[in-house]
A and B are shown apart, each in its own frame.
Chain A
Amino acid sequence: MSTKYRAAPRINILSAIALAVALLAGLGLTGIVHAAGSGGSSLPSQQSRPQVDPEQSYRDGVAALSAGDYKTAEKKFGEVLSISRKHTEANYYMGLAKIGRGKHKASVRYFERAIKGRPDFIEAREQLALVFVTLEKIDDAQEQLAAIRALSENCTDETCNEDYIKRIGVAVAKVEAALGAGDGEEISLGPDGALQIAVLALAPRAVGADRYGDAVKLINQQRFAEAVSKLYQAQEIIGPHPDILNYLGFAHRRMGKFDQAQDYYTAALELDPDHLGATEYLGELYLELGEIKKARRQLAKLDQLCAFGCAQYEDLARLIEVKTSIRRAGR
């Protein structure tokens, strides 16, 4: 899709972004189905306390954004972020919702958080750069442009394919055009990243579950970078989910990115403090960092959670034993 419009400088770039958001709304009318969650229990909770399902709020937010209901989108992504503050996609979409509401300045911090969570999030960098242009923060926009260019220079792993490089090129061109736009000058919006990512976000939950399944297979084959890419896609569709965050942590840990791994495990445990996998793998991370006491704490928690035994406890216990033996032998 390519959209052209005549823009006055700066202020009309705002419109360009707004148009991207508006086109998102158009997508909602093209027959893309927004499916409800599949399977599972539909039992009503007996608890009277208000409940927020971050996954549902996320999907409601995406639906609202696609319908052009930016106020609801803002509210829904706010709910998500109240539970999972660093969630990359929710921050990105909150940024778009803010733009839809005309709150461009407010959108900055959400795009920045999305980028902090995932430095190679091209779409977030692109939107942030465009917002900076509209806010006449040219140096900041240039900085984002440089960061986008650097993505292609530092692109080495298996996920660095032709599409990715092409996407970087599109973002660079758009930001450059915005920076160079003058009065009455025509600015070309190419296939917009916000739109493309929204197409994925609007896919039925089952598609997200399939991407997650693909990621699990890739992890088992030690293809961690590709697995991360699939997990991002699953997260884009499903929203904040402890299973996805847990495997994001696992894959990052196996790639040696311990800080990011810890962030993901922490995020998984924020959503589900009793998540067995995240509890186990955080323990394994501590072991890799040589923090055996902390690993033992995770083991003690698993012991509490697994009254009838569980693989997570057994595996972590075995690894602690191995690590302890190695330490003893080294003394």
Chain B
Amino acid sequence: MALTIKRATVAALIALAACSPKERAETEPVDAFANASRSFGEQAVLSLRELAWLDPSADVFAMLSNDRRECIRPAENIDTQYLVDIGRVAFQSPMLFGGLAARGGLSCESCHSGGRDNPNFFLKGLSGEAGTADVTSALFSKIREDGVFNPVPIPSLVGIAGKTAFGTQAPAPSLHDFIESAVTDEFQGAPPPPAVVDGLSAYITHLDDTGCTAATTTRAIADDMRQARRAMELAGEALARDDAATADFLLLSAQGRLGRVHERFAGPELKDQRRALERLSRNIAAIRAELSDGDDTRAGLAAAIAGAKTVAADLEQHRRQSLYDVETLRAALRAAGRNPDP
């Protein structure tokens, strides 16, 4: 009898346990991008994608608070400027790639900071020393694996237009071919629209150190929001040129750029700002859907561009609480167990 009661009690306890599953803690990623700090819901303090590929032993604070300055010569005419600007968007957009690279948020800019090298780039499994990458690794590529871990220093792209072969381990005869191969072969991306490849080629060709002074610029809300807005404007120009595929890519890239801004507006007190960014991005997604249906998107696009200006102005009002503010960033790094003062 006693045994029966005991069994019944145990069974009841088991049933009770089954009815009240315990809350799960957040999971730390296991993949190549595991260096990025993870957020704890609304208590998010530091959840920046780029932390995943920054050498943890380097000056992470400096890298997160500054951008490497892009040195570029003026375009020769409006058409070239259009391509250069598309190229800049594509260069900084993870959506150019596919596979693990796109999912981890990597873009050309991640390795070629400001169009140059990136001595602080480090991705486990891909890098040897900081600033190197194995471009013949199956981590990102389906076809380039050579069976050897052979990372090479990431080169600067400034001034490479005059070269006759492009790429160190998988040389291509032209910059255009190299870009196409890098996107589809090295990073498993879908073949980009022709204007995007042309744009990347134009952008890289125009990178030029001449007369370029300051090495870095401070990371600013205005710059990031301007880039998002510019991507939308370019989408409008692409549509005017009857190039819906390029417009779609640019709009998706604009969404991604807003996501980067969103990451820096962490914390419960910035909920409204995050929601405004999400709304803006959802509006852009709606424009993409209209575009896909063949609808006229001009009014929606104009409204989104205007909306971006309004959102940017509000974000500026809250800059001090965001990770664009160096002191807030410093505190967040400390809270996340990273040393902001190496």
Contacts and interface: CB of A to CB of B under 8 A. Distances in A.
Answer yes or no: are A and B bound together in one complex: yes
Contact of B27 (A216, A271, A311): A271
B27 A241 contact: yes
B142 A311 contact: no
B125 interface: yes
A97 B98 CA distance: 44
Interface string B137-156: 11111100100000000000
Contacts of A314: 95, 252
Contact of B23 (A49, A243, A310, A318): A49
A47 interface: yes
B45 interface: yes
Nearest to A317: B292
B100 interface: yes
B17 A51 contact: no
A284 interface: no
Interface string B27-58: 11111101101111101011000000000100
B311 interface: no
Given A45-B43, A213-B139, A276 B103 contact: yes
Contacts of B43: 43, 45-46
A288 interface: no
A311 B95 contact: yes
B259 A82 contact: no
Given A51-B25, A53-B24, A217 B138 contact: yes
Interface stretch (A34-42, A172-180, A185-193): A34-42
A151 interface: no
A83 B21 contact: yes
A52 B23 contact: yes
Residue in B22, B281, B336 with the greatest tally of chain A CB atoms within 10 Å: B22
A212 interface: yes
A236 interface: no
B88 interface: no
B162 interface: no
Contact of B255 (A208, A238, A309): A309
Interface string B235-261: 000000000000000001001101100
B337 interface: yes
B224 interface: no
B264 interface: no
B160 interface: no
Contacts of B137: 217
Interface string A45-88: 11101111111100000000000000000000001001100000
Contact of A43 (B24, B30, B45, B285): B45
A247 B141 CA distance: 16
A47 B145 contact: no
A243 B29 contact: yes
Given A41-B336, A309-B95, A216 B100 contact: yes
Contacts of B37: 40-41, 43
12 contacts: A40-B35, A43-B45, A45-B25, A52-B25, A82-B17, A209-B30, A209-B124, A218-B138, A221-B142, A222-B142, A311-B97, A311-B98
Given A51-B23, A220-B99, 13 more contacts: A43-B336, A45-B25, A47-B40, A52-B22, A82-B21, A212-B30, A212-B31, A213-B125, A216-B31, A216-B139, A220-B145, A311-B97, A314-B252
Q: Which 7 A-B pairs have the closest CB atoms?
A: A308-B259, A311-B102, A217-B138, A53-B25, A40-B28, A309-B255, A51-B25
